[in-house]
Structure 1
Amino acid sequence: MDVGSAIEIYTSVLGWMLYDRIWETLTDTGLVYLPFIGLVVKNFAKPYVAQGANGAAETSIRMMEMDLIAMFTVAALAGAPMITLKIGDLGHTTPCGGPSVTGANTRTTYDQAFAAIGGQTAVVPVWWYGVLAIASGINEAVIASVPCTADIRTLDYRLDNTRIQDPELRRQVQLFANDCWLPARSKFLARHDALPAGYPPDDIDWMGSRYFQDTNGYYGNGNLNLALRASEEIPGFSYDAARDTEYQAGFIPINGRPECKTWWQDGVNGLRRRLLATIDPDVLTQSVADARATNPTETATSVEDALIRKLFEQERGQLAAPANRSDGSTPSIWSQFTNELTGTVSGAGLTFEYLTWQPKLYALRQAAPIGQSFILMAIYLLLPFVLVFSSFSLGTMLFLSIVLFALKFCTAIWSLATWLDTNMIRALGLEWWKYQYDVELGTATLVANLAAGLTFVVIPLVWFMLLGWAGYQLGNGLNAAVKNTIDPAASGADRGARMASNISTRGFSSLISRGK
């Protein structure tokens, strides 16, 4: 049987194991038989009070026939454990051709966390096993009908939470910002230059600026003596006597001080290549595919630059206190520029809104299957009490069946919601792999986030309300049908008893009269 998530494999078996223990306890203590005793007392007492001694027995027997049939049916099908369930009998298949896993081998941390129940088994009543099997089959059919698409929300979350983990790489990024980018940007602003056509208006606002790379006098310079270079020796870049003239004759350092353009673009040790390597390959592949779907002329290089730019913006706060130069000084222009740009973005309110919604939606999506599995487990272990306290009501059994089906079907609803969320992001023109700074794009992002919350929360709530109402009506209708079946029989027995009583009374009176 397939379940909605890897954790549900373990919570399902645990829930039914507890069900077995509770059912066994109720049986051993005799509490499970109390509804039957109550049925006998009720069906004898009620006709006796209503009809007196005449005809009460026959009416009681007819009323008990239908009640006992219904109660024994519920107790046998939905109460008594019958079908063995093991961890290995349950599995989970990731949609759209994803991997399939089974219990005790989900390749997740759940295998170790729930190892204590790995070798144990549970026994499930026939009715509930059938309900869960049907629900799983319907889920699989619906999920298979949903078109396959990349989960952009998850990929975006991974990208937003990517950070530079290598201390040496972080140090080099700080040095590059101090030695190359900020001096180049200051030079550009001091000359009051204008960006040529073909460069985005914010191109110079990050250290991978294409203009600074393409234009002589910024990251690169035909005159090595005037070129912007690293202020320290950089591992991976060899010493060049024509370039690294700071050293005394005869001294050859282990590493050299590369020119900014080489430092950024080198295909082996360059910062661009190393920063790109920190980004999830799935994110890189999907972002290139989405970019080309929007604009067929988009190049992989421009998309890669956009991803590195977004990583840079996310790290900006951590880089706000750059490493000191070799002479111990720290350029103040970095802090000035950081405060200026941060103030602009904060004024638009875009960064705050985005960072507030994104982790919440991701956490909601991750927690939803876990919460679903816990709720199902709680229902499983509470079923014995509900069945006994409801006197093995057929209507209650059907109502609970609909509740279980509704909870299980949430897996299919969330699969559809994921597809809708991904395509809403695309439909609103959100280039999720880019750093978003435009206010209109911020509005579109907010709309996409609100739509995601609607599909993942409100639609399941509406589904529960509709199906709960249907289940309630079904239970009431079934109880009414049973009642309508019993009442005519009881009324008929009552009328028959009265007729027999009247006939016997008249006959007895006639005999007395003749005797006189």
Structure 2
Amino acid sequence: MTANSFLEYFLVLFGWVMNNAMWSILSNTGLFALPLVVRVLGVWLKVREEGADEGNKGLLALPRIEHALYVSYLVMLFCCIPLLPVDISTIKFDSSRAKQCGVSVPTPQNSGYKGLVNDFDGRTAEVPVWWYLLHMMSKGTTQAMIASIPCGTNLRQMRFDVQNTKLRDPVLLQEVQEFADQCYSRAYFRLKNSNSQLSDATINSVGWIGSSYFLNTSGYYDYYTAMTPRSQWPYNSSRDSGYPDTGAGGYPTCKTWWSDGTSGLRTRVLASFSDNTRKEMQRQFPGQQWEEIALRWLVSPRNADLSGTGTTYAVGSSDTTSGVVGNLTRLTSSIGLGLKQAEALPGFDAMKQALPMIQALLLMMIITVIPALMMFSAYDPKTIFTISFALFALQFITFWWELAGWLDDRLITILYDNMAEQGIANSSVPFAAFFSSTADGWIMNLVLGMMYLVFPMFWVGMLSWAGVRIGNMANNFSDASKMPTDAGSEAGKKAQGVAIDAASGGIKSGLSKG
């Protein structure tokens, strides 16, 4: 047996443990036989309602009762009685898609679910034959379909990881705000007052505190220095003349403060990212591009506000989407709106995280109640097909989510590549606008919701309809098996009538001759 998500890895086993417990209760108390008694009683009452012309009621009832019992016993044997053993070591976490696309995914034992997995280590369950075969068929079909989808860049997942990275160190967060005040604000003010009009390239570059324009253009970050002592750099009399030597450190230039080796603010801010996020960003955006993409969000005023106590620097325009350098007042007034958008964005990104968890919980619920459903349906074959189609539809939803993720990547690439080409993005680095944005627009949100929610809803609805139809066909086949008995009864009556007619005809012929 295989699982596609961490929760499914142990919830499926837990579901079968509960399934075994429920069947054990039903079998030990004898409740499992109650539907059989009801079915036999129903057949007997139906036979009693037949008229006298139906023939021997005992001979008519016997095959019908046998048929009802045989079908019920077969259903119990294949769908209720646990036979095939399963434990946590026999369930395989499927990582074939990750290997196909070159993505490193930890095993459940090496993830945050390690404690839960350990709780199930040593616990075993047994699975009825039918459901075991159904699970293997469903997972095999799903994985085969997923393998046919081209690998995507998983941009939305990476943005989710980036935007959920916070500057948890309050000292580092304070230093980011001081850099924005002592370096970025001064350089930005000088740029605005020394130029009557800025080119698109300059506009795209100066939208955040780590601007390459300010770093590489003479007269900006190489000219301005820190206004308070920084302990990472010792006091230098030739460089720091005019500043008091307090013993707390020197006054490096803004360029040194930002990009100097291991002591630079840039390197220390990047250390806030987890190793997995860093490796994935480096894989998708080689070179130095990933650093600007990640840093633009991490040092943005919005993230500084979310990371800290609500106080944020109001400088620059690192999160504007219009591509026009806004002034200080405009940025300050937009912070409230930006934070509202930041509250809305995780709802869509977190939806992708939550849906596989909901899927695993629903699988556990259905698996747990299978014995009760079978008993309450009196072991009706129609119930088998209904539950089977429900389980298959639920497991196959994984394919629709993979397809939706690939389509989402393509739409994001088309949208933000066009923005970069047309010069309306807030960075010349690809997808920097996407990673630093907290709102995709109504069209993207509607398309995203349709792909991740409406696709599966239509799929489950269509397959549920098919399951009900096939279940009805199975019931009709079961009812049709009674026809031979009825047909035999009818044939017997016809034969009896023919014999009586023949005998009466012979008597009449003899009398006429006499």
TM range (shorter): 0.7 to 0.9
Q: Contact (CA 8 Å) 1:399, 1:475: kept in 2 or not?
A: yes
Q: Contact (CA 8 Å) 1:78, 1:128: kept in 2 or not?
A: yes
Q: Rate the CA distance shift 1:99–1:2 in 2: closer, same or farther, 3 A.
A: farther
Q: Deviations over 1:305-344 (max 9, x none)?
A: 3432332223353598479xxxxxxxx999x965421435
Instruction: Find out whether 1:414 has 2:408 as its counterpart.
Output: no
Instruction: Find out whether 1:55 has 2:43 as its counterpart.
Output: no
Q: Rate the CA distance shift 1:262–1:434 in 2: closer, same or farther, 3 A.
A: same
Q: Rate the CA distance shift 1:124–1:432 in 2: closer, same or farther, 3 A.
A: farther
Aligned to 1:86: 87
Aligned to 2:178: 175
> Shift in Å at residue 256 of structure 1?
0.9
State how 1:272-287 maps to structure 2 within 5 Å: 272-279=266-273
Q: Rate the CA distance shift 1:475–1:436 in 2: closer, same or farther, 3 A.
A: closer
Which letter does structure 1 place at the counterpart of 2:31?
A: L
Q: Rate the CA distance shift 1:110–1:198 in 2: closer, same or farther, 3 A.
A: closer
Pick one of 106, 115, 121 that aligns with 1:118: 121
Which letter does structure 2 place at the counterpart of 1:164?
A: L
Which letter does structure 2 place at the counterpart of 1:42?
A: G
Q: Structure 1: how far apart are the matches of 2:453 and 2:37?
A: 44
Which letter does structure 1 place at the counterpart of 2:177?
A: Q
Which letter does structure 2 place at the counterpart of 1:60?
A: A
Q: Structure 2: how far apart are the matches of 1:92 and 1:254?
A: 53
Q: Structure 2: how far apart are the matches of 1:303 and 1:381?
A: 46
Q: Structure 1: how far apart are the matches of 2:354 and 2:88?
A: 22
Instruction: Find out whether 1:270 has 2:240 as its counterpart.
Output: no
Q: Rate the CA distance shift 1:111–1:11 in 2: closer, same or farther, 3 A.
A: same
Aligned to 1:381: 368
Aligned to 1:128: 131
Q: Deviations over 1:173-218 (max 9, x none)?
A: 22222222222333333x3523554633254443223443344443
Q: Secondary structure at the match of 1:429?
A: helix
Q: Structure 1: how far apart are the matches of 2:160 and 2:500?
A: 87
Aligned to 1:200: 202
Pick one of 331, 337, 354 that aligns with 1:341: 331
Aligned to 2:111: 108
Which letter does structure 1 place at the counterpart of 2:2?
A: D
Q: Structure 1: how far apart are the matches of 2:439 and 2:116?
A: 42
Q: Deviations over 1:359-402 (max 9, x none)?
A: 11222222222211211111122111111111111121122111
Q: Structure 2: how far apart are the matches of 1:322 and 1:467?
A: 52
> Shift in Å at residue 63 of structure 1?
2.3
Which letter does structure 2 place at the counterpart of 1:15?
A: G
Which letter does structure 1 place at the counterpart of 2:399?
A: A
Instruction: Find out whether 1:187 has 2:190 as its counterpart.
Output: yes
Q: Rate the CA distance shift 1:413–1:106 in 2: closer, same or farther, 3 A.
A: farther
Aligned to 1:448: 444
Aligned to 1:163: 166
Q: Structure 2: how far apart are the matches of 1:486 and 1:308?
A: 74
Q: Deviations over 1:455-479 (max 9, x none)?
A: 2111111111111000100010111
Shifted more, 422-431 versus 229-238: the winner is 422-431
Q: What residue ranges of structure 1 are gaps of 5+ in the alignment?
A: 222-227, 293-299, 324-331, 512-516
Aligned to 1:296: none
State how 1:92-491 maps to structure 2 within 5 Å: 92-94=93-95, 95-97=97-99, 106-113=109-116, 115-189=118-192, 191-194=193-196, 197=199, 199-201=201-203, 203-221=205-223, 228-246=224-242, 253=247, 255-279=249-273, 300-301=287-288, 304-313=291-300, 314-317=302-305, 318=308, 321=311, 339-344=329-334, 352-353=340-341, 355-429=342-416, 433-435=431-433, 445-491=441-487
Shifted more, 461-470 versus 258-267: the winner is 258-267
Q: Structure 2: how far apart are the matches of 1:408 and 1:283?
A: 28
Shifted more, 423-432 versus 75-84: the winner is 423-432
Q: Structure 2: how far apart are the matches of 1:270 and 1:11?
A: 46
Q: Contact (CA 8 Å) 1:151, 1:419: kept in 2 or not?
A: yes
Q: Rate the CA distance shift 1:243–1:417 in 2: closer, same or farther, 3 A.
A: same
Q: Rate the CA distance shift 1:43–1:432 in 2: closer, same or farther, 3 A.
A: farther
Shifted more, 377-386 versus 32-41: the winner is 32-41
Q: Structure 1: how far apart are the matches of 2:117 and 2:338?
A: 42
> Shift in Å at residue 107 of structure 1?
1.8
Percentage of pairs with the same residue: 27
Q: Structure 2: how far apart are the matches of 1:109 and 1:140?
A: 25
Cα RMSD of the aligned pairs, angstroms, is 3.7
Q: Rate the CA distance shift 1:101–1:259 in 2: closer, same or farther, 3 A.
A: closer
Q: Structure 1: how far apart are the matches of 2:171 and 2:214?
A: 24
Q: Secondary structure at the match of 1:89?
A: coil
Q: Structure 1: how far apart are the matches of 2:263 and 2:294?
A: 19
Q: Rate the CA distance shift 1:302–1:46 in 2: closer, same or farther, 3 A.
A: closer
TM-score by length of 1: 0.81
> Shift in Å at residue 28 of structure 1?
2.1
> Shift in Å at residue 106 of structure 1?
2.3
Q: Rate the CA distance shift 1:59–1:494 in 2: closer, same or farther, 3 A.
A: farther
Q: Deviations over 1:15-70 (max 9, x none)?
A: 11222222122122222112222232222221221124842122212323433332
Shifted more, 365-374 versus 273-282: the winner is 273-282
TM-score by length of 2: 0.81
Q: Structure 1: how far apart are the matches of 2:6 and 2:203?
A: 47
Q: Rate the CA distance shift 1:379–1:265 in 2: closer, same or farther, 3 A.
A: closer
> Shift in Å at residue 239 of structure 1?
1.6
Q: Contact (CA 8 Å) 2:230, 2:248: kept in 1 or not?
A: no
Q: Contact (CA 8 Å) 1:91, 1:100: kept in 2 or not?
A: no
> Shift in Å at residue 100 of structure 1?
7.8
Q: What residue ranges of structure 2 are gaps of 5+ in the alignment?
A: 317-325, 418-428, 508-514
Q: Structure 2: how far apart are the matches of 1:208 and 1:404?
A: 51
Shifted more, 257-266 versus 85-94: the winner is 257-266
Which letter does structure 1 place at the counterpart of 2:383?
A: T
Aligned to 1:295: none
Q: Contact (CA 8 Å) 2:154, 2:406: kept in 1 or not?
A: yes
Aligned to 2:426: none
